[in-house]
Structure 1
Amino acid sequence: MTTKTDFEPLSKAVLEGLGGADNVSSVTHCATRLRFKIKDACKVNDSKIEDTAGVIALMKAGGQHQIVIGNDVPFAYDAVVSLPGMATKGAKGAAVEDSDEDNGEKPNAFNAFIQLISSLFTPILWPLAGIALVKAFLSAGTNLGWFDTESTNYIVFAALADGLFFFLPMFLAVTAARRFKMNEFIAMATVAPLVYPSIIGLASVDADLKLLGIPLTAMDYSSSVIPAIVTVWLASYVQHYCEKILPSAVRNFMTPVLVLLIMVPIVLLTVGPLTMKLAAWISAGVAWLFQVAPWLAGGLLGAFWQVLVIFGLHWGFVPIFLNDIANLGHSAMMAPLQAAVMAQAAAVTAVALRSHLPARRKLAGPSAVSGILAGVTEPAIYGINLPLKVPFYAGVVGGAVGGIIIGLAGVSFNSFTFPSLLAFPAALGEGNFLMFVIGTIIAMVIAFVGTWILLPRAERREEEAKAAKAAAELEATEGDDNTAAATEDASSDTVLIPVNGTVIPLDEVEDKVFASGAMGESIAVEPSNGQVLAPVSGKVIAAPKSGHAVGIKSAGGVETLVHVGIDTVQMDGEGFTPHVTVGDHVQAGQPIVDVDLDAVAKAGYKATTLLIVTNSKKLSTVEHLAQPGLVVAGEPGLRAAK
């Protein structure tokens, strides 16, 4: 029986390879990997770790040094945290914050920018979007004469809707401080003068202003985005330098004093005005495109917005949206997005009504609701539209046509809200609202009708391809006595596909270890629903509380691992409902875990599910039965024999 004692040599060798306990910030583990955050990547000896007996692979991702062990990783973890200096660094089951600096690897500039924007806005995106709906309805009610703007009720609810946006620099100070590893309260204190009433009041003073004898360009920084981010970024360097040089006796109180004394004048004299002007130039460029060729600007945004969402590139536009709303009171760029989002939602609605596959309809229905009402299209895109292709293409065409009409309408959003059914009031302030509605409806009709017409043919082709594959396998089996014999051999196990979805080539998996097959013979599936079934009958040997993975050992000695998602261990169990625990006996096809695919997508992770025979090297053969394409849970995926 395996115990942590068996992993003491491995744990000592790995820790030495990482540069010792002093070089480790924290350690956690998932179903198969030890995950270390280290302080200095230069001290890590990769080859020593990779050559350690029991280590399957070493990879660096998500700001971590991930050491692949296999199903026995809990014992390896216990052995690591038992070593001197490691007891307080264990973070079992905890999500570890991403960092692009911890592993010593630098992403390219564009990816780094997208990661930066994502990390700054993700924590506040839902409050922004939710409160913006209140703001949109207040704006609509004002335009339609429903509210008395002098009443106490209106003033209170207007403050509710505007408060977050007015103090947005303070919220960004917190998220930026986390990103740039600065004290959050010092960051907030540094940004606070930007929204201090008397500083804002200077913007309306008609006089030459000077600060420390230097000309001061006074500006209203309330609701601004870029000044706060740049301020905290620069202030983080000042803070770290002060902490490094100040004596411990005065460090705690002198660090914030010096940061504020240095940064606030610099920000008000240079950073603030320059960043505000830069944002104004970008907005002016976008506005110019809308003036010169509004149909082209609207059509491009309507067509390609969802493509940007797929690759996570849409984050780069969020600061521009917010900056335009803060300074101009509206954003022309946001309006065409209504066509893009609602078109994809309409396409998946057609799938929910038209598809003859119950599993597909079951996923498409909720995806359509979230897309139409909340503007959240990731479940629709990843689960239905992209795998089928036809709905996604129909949505792109619909978004392009609707975007052209909306661009010509000259409509702008007067608040930051997700394009959706509930976002229509945000478009009441500027341009031709009727054309905006018409553009949205046309986008939805094109996407819905296009999908409705083409879906049966697309699904028929899927079924034909699937039938052809099954016939080919049957023919090959009947013509090969050895294969037939192997099928009936009691020493072999058929390993079943655990989820409905689409099998993809292993090298397309966004994880180097899984993609390399280092953990054993594997199959990767992009799931179309969240029910995960046992691939074999046997005993559960691994079932972390996070629920994202389950290991099962069959009676024939085949050890399998079902791993749901890439890096989903960092969700810390949110969205996963496990149905088994270690020691349970299960039957092949029995539900072992349910996963909320929407939650996985919203958390920013891939739901790619891996079926792995982890002891492949100890088996005589592991035969692949499933090929890339549509599969149903319970179909044969692998055949393993001892």
Structure 2
Amino acid sequence: MAKDYTSLARDIVENVGGKENIATLTHCVTRLRFTLKDPAKLNKSVLEQLKGVIQVLDVGGQIQVVIGTKVVQVYDAVLEVTGLVGGGEVAAQETGKSNFVGKFISLISGLFTPLMAGFTGAGMLKVVLILLTNFNLLDTASGTYQILYAGADAIFYFLPLALGFSAAKKFGCNPYVALAVTGALIYPDMVAVYNAGTELKFLGIPVVLMSYASSVIPAIAAIWFTSLVEKGLRKVIPDVVQNIFLGMLEIMICVPAAYLVIGPITSYAGTLMASGYTFIMNINPVIAGALVAFFWPCFVIFGLHWGFIPIVLNNIATTGFDTLFVITGPNNMAQAGAALGVFLKTKDSELKGEAGSCALTAILAGVTEPAIYGINLKYKKPFYIAMVFTGIAGGIVAAAGTRVPALVGTSLLTLPAYAGVGFVGFLIACAIAYFGTAICTYLFGFNDSMIIRK
């Protein structure tokens, strides 16, 4: 298979304009994400015909090549073929035309994609611990629980550190200085001062102390400011002494700024964001949930779902749980059901194999892009049916008040993560999304006369 990945990697590189045309390269769960120096050199039509490429999207100037579950192998092969080191882990100037939404999604995906493996692993471990303690299989006072819980909670508690490092690479400043800045926000002595309610001043200026553990927006804003400071200091500090004074001055400027201005303002913004989301959901949770869920597949198509991750993490940090990704979770089941409907209906052996693989990937792993681009969107009706049943399921989940304490994707294997408030409602919603979409797709959403070949 390695040879196949290498061949595909060469073809991809050739049709994005060669390695010299690649400004940055990253990947998420299913997509290669290119920023090209000259977008005019992209040969999109040829790329989309390559075996192994599901779809090619231009989202705000970022070229997204949808690969599916083998994206890591293809990404590694592209790095090997091009000789690039670290892919898109260094900041580069945006090139080509890019609107605000495109830039925002590119920013969010660049910040959070490297952290998703940690979020998913820690989130699932946290859920396992909740289940074990609920069934009295593990005592919360035991050393076993405390050690495992430390592993499950650490990435969320120290999220400012992880985001600071990720943001530094995205904004183009020293990531280790970024660790010093965001680390200061959760420094144990400062946390103790906050918990004690002690008054604190900096050069006579009162400091509004906040809790920055698990925070999202303050860390990102602080490192964006740090990147501006670093770029400004580099212009005025002689090169010969930058190693001595640059980092020191950055920390001296940015840590107080984070405590005095950036932190309090962005913390309040995060609280308002969480309160605003809760207010909207409380007006009419069924309608709000149904609308968000109905349009969610469209967000996934264009990669816009990344823009909601800060809201989800902010919800967890502020309220201790999330409902947004819970409401949209049945979409994974609906997309799997649509692919299953095609699998059951078609008599074409090639399409049957492809649809079956996509259906399994979606329901077992929660990875829906292969099903969306490879089957459902290609034949349109299965995708539309999935949208309808995702909307219905979203309304049911919202009515049930289902919530989850961590960032967890939805699949057959992760259903236990939703045990708790509204669990039965969530199971019913997922079943309706899966079986309803599969049945309707089978009955009137697909027939073999619709088959499209590359």
Superposition TM-score, scaled by structure 2 size: 0.81
Structure 2 vs 1, CA of residues 105 and 153 (structure 1 numbering), >3 Å: closer, same or farther?
same
Q: CA deviation at 1:212?
A: 2.3
Identify the match of residue 246 of structure 1 among 237, 245, 270.
237
1:282 aligns to what? 273
For 1:156, the aligned partner's letter is I
Q: CA deviation at 1:231?
A: 0.9
Residues 579-598 of structure 1 aligned to structure 2 (within 5 Å): none
Tell me, yes or no, if structure 1 residue 459 matches structure 2 residue 447. Answer: yes
2:304 aligns to what? 313
For 1:128, the aligned partner's letter is F
1:538 aligns to what? none
CA distance in 2, matches of 1:31, 1:396: 33
CA distance in 2, matches of 1:352, 1:440: 19
Deviations 1:369-414 (A, max 9, x none): 2211221100100001111122212211111111111111111111
1:62 aligns to what? 35
Structure 2 vs 1, CA of residues 268 and 69 (structure 1 numbering), >3 Å: closer, same or farther?
closer
CA distance in 2, matches of 1:385, 1:66: 28
Superposed CA RMSD:
2.6
Q: CA deviation at 1:69?
A: 12
Deviations 1:109-130 (A, max 9, x none): 1211111001111111122123
2:177 aligns to what? 186
1:222 aligns to what? 213
CA distance in 2, matches of 1:127, 1:354: 39
- Say if 1:129 and 1:417, in contact at 8 Å, map to a contact too: yes
Identify the match of residue 433 of structure 2 among 427, 437, 443.
443
Q: CA deviation at 1:427?
A: 2.4
For 2:168, the aligned partner's letter is A
CA distance in 1, matches of 2:330, 2:13: 43
- Say if 1:397 and 1:446, in contact at 8 Å, map to a contact too: no
Identify the match of residue 111 of structure 1 among 97, 102, 105.
102
Identify the match of residue 136 of structure 2 among 129, 139, 145.
145
- Say if 2:293 and 2:328, in contact at 8 Å, map to a contact too: yes
- Say if 2:168 and 2:174, in contact at 8 Å, map to a contact too: yes
CA distance in 2, matches of 1:301, 1:200: 37
- Say if 1:62 and 1:100, in contact at 8 Å, map to a contact too: no
1:33 aligns to what? 17
1:354 aligns to what? 345
Q: CA deviation at 1:38?
A: 11
Residues 229-268 of structure 1 aligned to structure 2 (within 5 Å): 229-268=220-259
CA distance in 1, matches of 2:38, 2:208: 47
Structure 2 vs 1, CA of residues 67 and 452 (structure 1 numbering), >3 Å: closer, same or farther?
closer
Identify the match of residue 166 of structure 2 among 172, 175, 181.
175
For 2:373, the aligned partner's letter is Y
Identify the match of residue 147 of structure 2 among 156, 166, 187.
156
- Say if 1:63 and 1:101, in contact at 8 Å, map to a contact too: no
Structure 2 vs 1, CA of residues 139 and 69 (structure 1 numbering), >3 Å: closer, same or farther?
closer
1:136 aligns to what? 127
For 1:256, the aligned partner's letter is G
CA distance in 2, matches of 1:174, 1:438: 40
- Say if 2:403 and 2:422, in contact at 8 Å, map to a contact too: no
CA distance in 2, matches of 1:263, 1:141: 43
For 1:127, the aligned partner's letter is G
Residue 222 of structure 1 aligns to a residue whose secondary structure is: coil
Deviations 1:530-577 (A, max 9, x none): xxxxxxxxxxxxxxxxxxxxxxxxxxxxxxxxxxxxxxxxxxxxxxxx
Residue 266 of structure 1 aligns to a residue whose secondary structure is: helix
CA distance in 2, matches of 1:319, 1:338: 17
- Say if 1:202 and 1:219, in contact at 8 Å, map to a contact too: no
Residue 82 of structure 2 aligns to a residue whose secondary structure is: coil
Q: CA deviation at 1:326?
A: 1.5
Q: CA deviation at 1:426?
A: 3.0
CA distance in 2, matches of 1:303, 1:34: 39
- Say if 2:91 and 2:169, in contact at 8 Å, map to a contact too: no
CA distance in 1, matches of 2:234, 2:356: 55
1:571 aligns to what? none
Structure 2 vs 1, CA of residues 216 and 303 (structure 1 numbering), >3 Å: closer, same or farther?
same
- Say if 1:298 and 1:403, in contact at 8 Å, map to a contact too: yes
Going by fraction, where is helix more abundant, 1 or 2? 2
Q: Percent identity?
A: 35
CA distance in 1, matches of 2:227, 2:91: 16
Tell me, yes or no, if structure 1 residue 195 matches structure 2 residue 186. Answer: yes
Residue 387 of structure 1 aligns to a residue whose secondary structure is: coil
Higher RCO (Cα < 8 Å, 6 or more apart): 2
- Say if 1:325 and 1:331, in contact at 8 Å, map to a contact too: yes
Deviations 1:210-245 (A, max 9, x none): 222222221221111111111111101111222221
Which consecutive unaligned segments of at least 5 residues does structure 1 have?
1-27, 40-60, 71-90, 464-629, 633-642
For 2:450, the aligned partner's letter is E
CA distance in 1, matches of 2:375, 2:42: 34
Structure 2 vs 1, CA of residues 226 and 460 (structure 1 numbering), >3 Å: closer, same or farther?
same
2:29 aligns to what? none
Superposition TM-score, scaled by structure 1 size: 0.58
Tell me, yes or no, if structure 1 residue 93 matches structure 2 residue 77. Answer: no
For 2:93, the aligned partner's letter is D
Greater Rg over alpha carbons, structure: 1
- Say if 1:239 and 1:259, in contact at 8 Å, map to a contact too: yes
- Say if 2:396 and 2:425, in contact at 8 Å, map to a contact too: yes
- Say if 1:187 and 1:232, in contact at 8 Å, map to a contact too: yes
Structure 2 vs 1, CA of residues 238 and 268 (structure 1 numbering), >3 Å: closer, same or farther?
same
Q: CA deviation at 1:103?
A: 5.9
Tell me, yes or no, if structure 1 residue 432 matches structure 2 residue 422. Answer: yes
CA distance in 2, matches of 1:376, 1:32: 25
CA distance in 1, matches of 2:389, 2:411: 15
Q: CA deviation at 1:29?
A: 6.7
